[in-house]
A and B are shown apart, each in its own frame.
Chain A
Amino acid sequence: MEKNKFIETLKPRIKELKFSLYLLNRNWLTKVSFYIAILLFLLAIFSQVISPFPGHIMDEANVSQKLLPPTSVNFYGTDELGRDIFSRVLYGTRVSLTTAILSVGLALLIGVPLGAIAGTLGGWIDEVIMRITDIFLSFPPLLLAIALVSILGPGLENAMIAIALSWWPWYTRLVRGQAISMKERKFVQAAEAIGTPTWKIIFKHIVPNTISPVIVQASMDMGGVILTVASLSFLGLGAQPPIPEWGLMISTSRNYFPDAWWYSIFPGLAIFITVLVFNLLGDGLREILDPKTRKN
């Protein structure tokens, strides 16, 4: 009987899901980007299985085959060590998506609680937190990330940390604004009147209600973060060889340009498509999660 009840309670959830899909399906661009995003995640997960030359992903060299143009064997051609660029670009999806998710995740972990605390408590705490974010926001994010990586030392992990550290203030601002408007809601006052502890009000009442715009912002930022990771790697501050990171691949390919055009074009296209897809996806999610901006 308990089980039946559980299914019964699921029904409205299913209806909501259907409504979300309906909103998603209304815009073909969002729909396409949604499916491409799913495809990208699948490719990232199974890249090692799919890739025709899994050994080429890292440093298995085959110098006799170097810098071959695209053929039916090497779809995207080969690089200066004779490695299959298709396999490497494919694996690059995993590298970029993982770094992007982890960086954004870390930035959220710092930014959301700080924003919620600042917005809810107000007063001098708000003042201090917001002035710190102002300081962070007064550097161009890429420059700040470069500076931070130079302090921490080059490498993918450090690049992630640096990106998170230069990205969190945006979430703090966003969440603070939301928290201020949520704080005035009666359910927060009701919780206060009951005697709910402040930390519980912040994290159980306010944060869950600020999360929709944060998800939208985060999915839009995924594109930006992938670009930043690529830029850092391009400058030699992010991923280190032999990791098949797209920015790093483009950076190396410069030496063989324009003869080996395929070497830079395919990683570049991968970056372009991924970033575009996440931007479109962000707009789509906004449509679903934010009724105010919804088109009729």
Chain B
Amino acid sequence: MLRVAIKMLMGDKSKYLTLVSSLMVVSFLFLQQGSIFCGLMLRTARPVEVVGAPIWVADPQLRSVDENKPLLDTDLQRVRSVPGVKWAVPMILQLVAVHLPDGNFQTVRLYGLDNDTFFGRPRMLSGDSSLLTQDEAIVIGNAEKEKLNNPRLGDILEMNDTEARVVGIADVPRDFFSYPFVYAAYNRALQYAPQQRKQMNYVLAAPVESLPIDQVTRNIRQVTGLAAYTEQQFRWLTIGYYFRNTGIPISIGISLAMVFMVGMSIVGQTFYQFALQNERYFGALKAMGTSSLTLTRMILLQAMIVGLVGFGSGAGLGGIFGLIAGGQDSKIAFATPWPLLVISFLLIMTICLLSAFISIQKVVRLEPAVVFRG
């Protein structure tokens, strides 16, 4: 009888296409809105990802990577002395204003990298990061560099009344705020950043191979009283901060709720109409001895088929949208992690099953004697 159910569904091409296309649009909108949300949230953690440090040590009150809560210079030595720490280097990460040749100011994200190792330097597209040892040398990120008037190698920018010469262009993805990234040696960065009593705001560290990283971060917290995070923990700390403190989840959530309601009403109505149109056939099947359980299975199968086809089409459309409009260098933040696919699939199936439930109620309560009514 399941084969009969499939033929009943697909034989009514207009209803079938209405159901599938409705679900396709709903799942596309789910995935598109969800992917933009995930893309935005993941971009908040870009400043952490681009460094690639196993352990981040910061002020215990710090709530995200974008906050500036400097540490004492002595904290670097304290971290280095913690059992299980293989190495530790200082880093400055601050927002500073660049004075552009046209007189405008542009905020950039300034990384001051350890003078000796340049740990955290990005992959270069042009120039050479080893030139950061030179006076006034900086490397700028490729993304958003148009906000700095597309400087070329050798061009001079000005930060904190100090000249900086571009020695390289690096491959750096866009972040949440769309700030250009600027890299300098730690000592040079101290000159570019506004003067404060304390300047260093992160210590980057790595664990020895023989100890699990969680134990080493625990050791750092216990010994120094500072906050210590693995890269993943620090990413999620930052993402969580923006999740809680911006209106993005609510805005996207409202959009998704509206998509759900519109999808539910369209699919529910179409399914119900499908049941109504097929009432006498369902009645005939009941009269001929089809049990309510079998009819329920038939309707559930129909719902699952349109759900799967609709979701598959919508996901495909979302994927194409992501390929065209998304990507690391795109201005549109777009990321589709697998949990988003799972959630979207479950939401689509929920719409289908709720719609099917309405039809099932109708069909199960249907008196088979309806077939003898004119």
Task: Answer yes or no: do A and B interact.
Answer: no
Give A contacts to B, CB under 8 Å: none
Give B contacts to A, CB under 8 Å: none
